[in-house]
Structure 1
Amino acid sequence: MKQSDVHFINLRCENGDSRLDKLERLITKAGMDKIDFKGKFVAIKLHFGEPGNLAFLRPNYAATVVKMVQKLGGKPFLTDCNTLYVGGRKNALDHLDSAYKNGYMPYATGCHAIIADGLKGTDEVLVPVRNGEYVKEARIGRALMDADIVISLAHFKGHEGTGFGGALKNLGMGGGSRAGKMEMHSDGKPQVEADLCIGCGACIKVCAHDAPHITKGISWIDHDRCVGCGMCIGVCPTDAIQPGSSSSNDRLNCKISEYTQAICDGRPTFHINVVIDVSPFCDCHGDNDVAIVPDVGMFASFDPVALDRACVDAVNAQTPLAGSRLGGTKGDNLDNNHPQTNWRVGLEHAQKIGLGTQEYRLIEVR
């Protein structure tokens, strides 16, 4: 299979050369300007950050991408879809409040933010999935599908359900409406290991579906109410809540790849991963643990599969940071971070359905 080009730039900033200068240089060298942006609506899909979390990408990165799109004649907007769980992004009003609090204001980024699936997360488009095995029609936020061009700007980090979060997670899970997210999560129902539970109630506070309960000081999860979003797994301070089975996570990864396929099919797309503050859990949590590996750099490609694979390889090549969740461990960093997941599955499935390839040529930008 033919290799895809993935461009990379490190984070060293000398003689007044800022990270934002380097980001602009990276995406120029990677060929984003080859896309015809003139008069086109451009969705820049990102994560605005859950309030309290400080690992999310600062708006300065988005502002750099916005400026370049505008310079090329495009009409950019920042976008994301609402969440399944209790938090600061479960409806469009709260979501925009959270975005503004985290600095994503129009005067800071240079463009407006639109919540793609509307006020209550119900404004969706049913999109056929080419070669879909698990999903025949993906439920995508309407504003994201109305765009002529899609740019993914993702913070690369660990993830409790998929092993890592990069371009595929940003687009596939992030681009799904609330019903779409429920469809992707529907196979996984977490379990509580009673001997580890301390009855703190953190799982109850984060659940939007009244699934966790505490009886005699021990939590348990009502699977009839649970939608499998996995937020309770991340907030549990003792790791008492675990995914129901690895096969559920495998199906989640495959569905995310198929949702990404639906979003990318039939129009120009471009993908950027910023590999800094590689937190062990998703940015959807209202807090973040320390990074598990050193900052690596920024990557860009037209191929989201090759891009994510290059970032995985770069993260796994790092020595874990002392004092982090992985301090002192050896081997595959993503496997060690979340042993219940298999990060390979989503990439393999994405390649199988024709979204991209894991074979890449890494080109370093100076």
Structure 2
Amino acid sequence: MPTPSSTVYWSDLRTNPSLTILKKLDRLLRAAGMETLDLTDKYTAFKIHFGEPGNMAYIRPPYVAVVSALVRELGGKPFLTDANTLYSGRRHNAWDHLRSGFENGFSRDATGCDLIIADGLKGNDYVEMPVRGGIHCTTAKIGCAVAEADAVVSLNHFKGHELTGFGGALKNLGMGCASRAGKKFLHEVSHPVIDRNNCTGCGLCVKNCAHHAITLDAQRKAVIDHDLCTGCCQCVAVCQFSAARASEGSASRVCSERISEYTEAILNGKPHFHVNFVMNVSPNCDCWANNDAPVVADIGIFASLDPVALDQACVDAVNAAPAINGTALTDRNYGGTGEKFGHIHPDTDWSAGLDHAVRLGLGNRKYDLVKV
């Protein structure tokens, strides 16, 4: 029996005076099937990352306005949402999180919809949603605003990630919609390690650890107390000397599989649609107050009703693109062709989450790509 496939639609970024990038996005959404969703009178959660202030790789508000206009045209009631973070930063609680979103331009006037922090003031407002077919959990702790939404649209900046290899639709949903308790469960399998030969004792990891799990010993080498560590990998992101590393072995696989299970809980029984912006493809996630140089040139915007096929298509597009010299990719002696995310983050297994998502019935890794 042939393996099922899904359809992924994409648009490049070429424009002309009669066809702007925003018009191309609207055309892409319609071609990819957003108009087929029943959104009449449905509270429609737009899962997005508002951007940690200082990081400029986030999706720009005018793109959101296009999606919002179409959802309202279809009778939906859209709102922007994200859940609070586990690590330190300006999205650690709803008060700072909302201010960060407003600073980056996510106002009602700019986007056509309001901002609601999914898991409340301090990240404790969640619903335990059933996970069907899960091997790591039977319920997922999902922020109330997402759990109670009638439909879900994920708007995702596609990039690398320190723990899962890359971040796309599955990561933005499964990790991004989890409450703080949910995020702790997703991360707990990760136990970052310190390569003492590379550690310079700069103390940046100590300063940035929200859980006070890192100290410098008598030799001014970083030491992680894993009884306090939540596995958020902020130390990996801020280390400039490759001393802090994500756990080797199964941590990446298990975390990615748990993310897929959380995504299954979020999407099951709800109309959903997904858009990946393959622009500013930075080597690390968007959770920090800086973004490193993109490792490939901007490729375009991809959309699908299938989040698994969408993520796979974007991985393939990045792998097929020429590497940009002078980036984190070429710093690691990239050979010039082939797989990129595993090369940047060799301790990760980016395919594990996709494989598990297929087993959970979230979609297919096989896809047909249609240019719009």
TM-score strictly above 0.5: yes
User: Following TM superposition, by how much is the alpha carbon of 1:342 offset from its aligned partner in structure 2, in angstroms?
Assistant: 1.2
Alignment of 1:325 onto 2:328: yes
CA distance in 2, matches of 1:325, 1:342: 18
Q: Which runs of 4+ in 1 moved over 2 A?
A: none
Alignment of 1:339 onto 2:346: yes
Q: Which runs of 5+ in 1 are unaligned?
A: none
User: Following TM superposition, by how much is the alpha carbon of 1:107 offset from its aligned partner in structure 2, in angstroms?
Assistant: 1.3
Query: What is the aligned counterpart of 1:353 among 335, 338, 360?
Result: 360
SS in 2 for 1:85: coil
Task: Tell me which residue corresponds to 2:267.
Answer: 264
User: Following TM superposition, by how much is the alpha carbon of 1:15 offset from its aligned partner in structure 2, in angstroms?
Assistant: 2.6
Q: Deviations over 1:195-233 (max 9, x none)?
A: 111111211222211101112211111100001011110
SS in 1 for 2:207: helix
User: Following TM superposition, by how much is the alpha carbon of 1:284 offset from its aligned partner in structure 2, in angstroms?
Assistant: 0.3
Task: Tell me which residue corresponds to 2:147.
Answer: 145
Q: Deviations over 1:42-63 (max 9, x none)?
A: 0000100011101111111111
User: Following TM superposition, by how much is the alpha carbon of 1:245 offset from its aligned partner in structure 2, in angstroms?
Assistant: 1.8
Task: Tell me which residue corresponds to 1:111.
Answer: 113
Within-5 A mapping of 1:83-98: 83-98=85-100
Return the letter of the residue paired with 1:58: R
CA distance in 1, matches of 2:98, 2:273: 24
Q: Which runs of 5+ in 2 are unaligned?
A: none
Task: Tell me which residue corresponds to 2:233.
Answer: 230
Q: Deviations over 1:161-193 (max 9, x none)?
A: 001000000000001001000000011111111
CA distance in 2, matches of 1:107, 1:337: 39
Query: What is the aligned counterpart of 1:193 among 192, 195, 219?
Result: 195
CA distance in 2, matches of 1:205, 1:81: 23
Task: Tell me which residue corresponds to 1:276.
Answer: 279
Query: What is the aligned counterpart of 1:240 among 243, 248, 252?
Result: 243
Alignment of 1:6 onto 2:11: no
Return the letter of the residue paired with 1:343: W
SS in 2 for 1:270: strand
Contact map agreement 2:98 2:115 (CA 8 A) in 1: yes
Which stretch shows the higher mean deviation, 177-186 or 323-332? 323-332
CA distance in 2, matches of 1:39, 1:267: 13
Identity of aligned pairs, percent? 51
Return the letter of the residue paired with 2:178: G
Return the letter of the residue paired with 2:194: V
SS in 1 for 2:25: helix
Return the letter of the residue paired with 2:289: G
Which stretch shows the higher mean deviation, 12-21 or 215-224? 12-21
Within-5 A mapping of 1:35-184: 35-184=37-186
Return the letter of the residue paired with 2:15: C
Return the letter of the residue paired with 1:62: V
User: Following TM superposition, by how much is the alpha carbon of 1:244 offset from its aligned partner in structure 2, in angstroms?
Assistant: 2.3
Q: How many residues align?
A: 365
SS in 2 for 1:326: helix
TM-score computed with the length of structure 1 as normaliser = 0.98
TM-score computed with the length of structure 2 as normaliser = 0.97
CA distance in 2, matches of 1:360, 1:26: 17
